[in-house]
C-alpha cells in the first residue's frame, strides 16, 4: 500500500544536551489506539503519541512537540503498513480536521472504539469493564452524517472544515461522510461562493431531516424551514440551531437501549440534557410523570412542541442548566425512579452528578458521546454506591474516533457484575 505521506528532509534529532526537539524524525511501531484516537508508540525513552496511525504500523514520524517524557508526532512515511490500515478515500484526509479514522478498516475502527471505552473505564472510572464491549456498527459508514458545520473564509474564498490543529479553513468540494442532502447543500453554497453571492457569515450549519435541509444562517428562501424526523412512531421537529443526533440510521436502536429496562414504567422519570425530546417522548409513554431539563432555549421550545404534537400531557420541559435546576428542585422532586442523562461531549457538570445522587434513583441511564468524560462521571456514581449493570456502544460517528456509549447503573452494591 502506498503512503500519502512524503518523507521530508531529515533534520537533527536532538538539540543541545541531547534533548529530542520538534522536527526530529523517529521510526516507531504503533502499539494500539488510545482515547482521543491517537496511536501509542515508544522510542528514545519517550511515550510517543502518533496522529492518524493504525495499530501495527511501522512508521517514520516527525515530532511536533514534547512535554516531559511524552512526544506528539505525525506520520511522514509508513514503512510497514498495519494489516488493518486502509487507503483513505477522502482527498482532504490528513489536512481536514474532521475524520481521523479513515486510515483504518471498518472492523478495526469498531475494535479501536471498544478498546478506547475499556481504557477509559479502567484508568478514569477505576471500574473493571465488561469482558466483551459491543459496538453496534453503523448501517452506513459513508454518507451518514445528517449535520455539518462549514467554516467560511470570505477573504480566501474557502468553504469547508478547519484544518487539523488550526483555524485555517480547508476548502472542501465534497465530504464523503456527509449525507446526500447535506452534500448537495454544500455544492450549492460553493456555487454561490464562486458567484460572489455567499453571505459573509463565518460559518454555516446544515441539518437534514425527512423534508430536506435546514441551514443557519439562511441563504435562500427554503433554508429557514424546520425539519422533522420520524423514529419508531414518534415525530421530532428541530432546526439547524438545535442539537439532534447526526446518524439517523442508529437512532431507533439507540433510543431502545437508552430506555432498556423501563418497559414497566413507574412514577417519575427525569430526562436531563433532553434536547428536542428524543428520549422524553417515549419516556412519557412509560412513566406517570416526566420532567425534561434542557439548557438550550430553542431546543426546549421544540421539545414542548414535540410533546404537544404527540398529545403527551404528563411531561414538562424546564429550560435551565441541569446542575442548577437539580440544586433548586431536588427537594420537591423527592426520589426519582429513573434518570436518563445525555450530556454534551464535556459530560455532566459536577453539580448535576451530585444532584442525581441526591435523588437516589433506582436506575440511571447515561448516554455519552465521549468515553473519557463518561468515565469521569461514572466514577462519582460508582463511589456513591451504584453498580455498572450493562454497557453497549453505537458507532454513531464512522471514520472518526468518537463513539456513543449507553451505560445502565443500578442502586446497590458497588461490586461489578
As beta bridge partners, residue 50 has: 39, 73
d(CA 304, CA 281): 10
Calpha distance 68→236 (Å, rounded): 50
Residue 247: alpha-carbon gap to chain centroid: 11
Q: How far is CA 355 from the centre of its chain?
A: 24
117, containing H or E segment: helix 106-123
DSSP 265-306: -EEEEEEES-TTTTTHHHHHTTEEEEEEEES-HHHHHHHHHH
Tell me if residue 206 falls in helix, strand or coil: strand
CB neighbourhood size of 345 (10 A): 11
DSSP, collapsed to helix, strand or coil, labels residue 372 as: helix
What is the Cα–Cα distance from 284 to 310, expressed in whole angstroms? Answer: 10
Residue 57 to residue 54: CA distance in whole angstroms: 6
- Specify the pairing of strand 46-51 against strand 39-43: antiparallel
* Of 90, 96, 170, 369, catalytic: 369
Query: What is the Cα–Cα distance from 272 to 268, expressed in whole angstroms?
Result: 13
147 vs 80: CA distance, rounded Å = 36
99 is catalytic: no
Tracing cell 451518514 back to the chain, one arrives at 144
Residues whose CB is less than 8 angstroms from the CB of residue 94 and which lie 6 or more positions away in sequence, other chains included: 4, 5, 52, 88, 164
Q: So which residues are the catalytic ones?
A: 369
Amino acid at each position: 500500500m502506498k503512503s500519502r505521506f512524503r518523507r521530508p528532509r531529515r533534520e537533527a534529532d536532538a538539540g543541545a544536551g541531547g534533548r529530542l526537539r520538534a522536527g526530529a524524525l523517529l521510526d516507531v511501531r504503533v502499539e494500539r489506539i488510545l482515547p482521543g484516537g491517537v496511536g501509542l508508540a515508544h522510542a528514545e525513552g519517550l511515550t510517543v503519541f502518533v496522529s492518524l496511525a493504525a495499530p501495527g504500523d511501522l512508521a517514520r514520524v516527525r515530532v511536533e512537540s514534547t512535554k516531559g517524557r511524552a512526544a506528539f508526532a505525525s506520520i511522514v512515511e509508513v514503512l510497514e503498513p498495519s494489516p488493518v490500515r486502509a487507503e483513505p478515500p477522502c482527498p482532504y484526509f490528513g489536512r481536514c480536521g474532521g475524520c481521523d479514522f479513515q486510515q483504518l478498516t471498518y472492523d478495526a475502527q469498531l475494535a479501536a472504539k471498544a478498546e478506547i471505552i475499556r481504557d477509559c473505564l479502567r484508568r478514569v472510572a477505576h471500574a473493571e469493564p465488561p469482558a466483551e464491549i459491543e459496538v453496534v456498527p453503523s448501517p452506513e459508514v459513508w454518507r451518514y452524517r445528517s449535520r455539518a458545520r462549514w467554516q467560511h473564509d470570505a477573504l480566501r474564498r474557502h468553504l469547508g472544515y478547519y484544518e487539523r490543529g488550526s483555524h485555517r479553513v480547508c476548502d472542501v468540494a465534497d465530504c464523503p461522510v456527509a449525507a446526500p442532502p447535506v452534500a448537495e447543500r454544500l455544492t450549492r453554497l460553493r456555487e454561490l461562493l464562486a458567484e460572489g453571492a455567499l453571505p459573509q457569515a463565518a460559518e454555516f450549519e446544515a441539518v437534514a431531516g425527512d423534508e430536506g435541509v435546514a441551514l443557519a444562517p439562511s441563504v435562500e428562501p427554503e433554508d429557514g424551514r424546520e425539519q422533522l424526523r420520524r423514529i419508531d412512531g414518534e415525530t421530532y421537529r428541530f432546526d439547524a440551531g438545535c442539537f439532534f443526533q447526526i446518524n439517523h440510521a442508529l437512532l431507533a436502536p439507540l433510543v431502545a437501549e437508552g430506555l432498556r429496562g423501563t418497559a414497566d414504567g413507574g412514577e417519575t422519570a427525569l430526562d436531563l440534557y433532553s434536547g428536542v425530546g428524543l428520549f422524553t417522548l417515549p419516556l412519557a409513554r412509560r412513566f406517570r410523570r416526566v420532567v425534561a431539563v434542557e439548557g438550550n432555549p430553542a431546543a426546549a421550545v421544540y421539545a414542548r412542541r414535540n410533546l404537544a404534537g404527540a398529545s403527551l400531557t404528563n411531561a414538562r420541559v424546564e429550560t435551565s442548566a441541569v446542575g442548577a435546576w437539580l440544586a433548586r428542585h431536588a427537594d420537591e422532586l423527592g426520589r426519582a425512579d429513573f434518570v436518563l442523562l445525555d450530556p454534551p461531549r464535556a459530560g455532566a457538570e459536577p453539580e448535576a452528578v451530585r444532584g442525581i445522587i441526591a435523588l437516589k434513583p433506582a436506575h440511571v441511564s447515561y448516554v455519552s458521546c465521549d468515553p473519557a468524560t463518561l468515565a469521569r462521571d461514572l466514577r462519582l456514581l460508582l463511589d456513591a454506591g451504584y453498580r455498572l449493570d450493562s454497557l453497549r456502544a453505537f458507532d454513531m460517528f464512522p471514520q472518526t474516533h468518537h463513539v456513543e456509549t449507553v451505560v445502565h447503573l443500578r442502586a446497590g452494591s458497588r461490586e461489578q457484575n
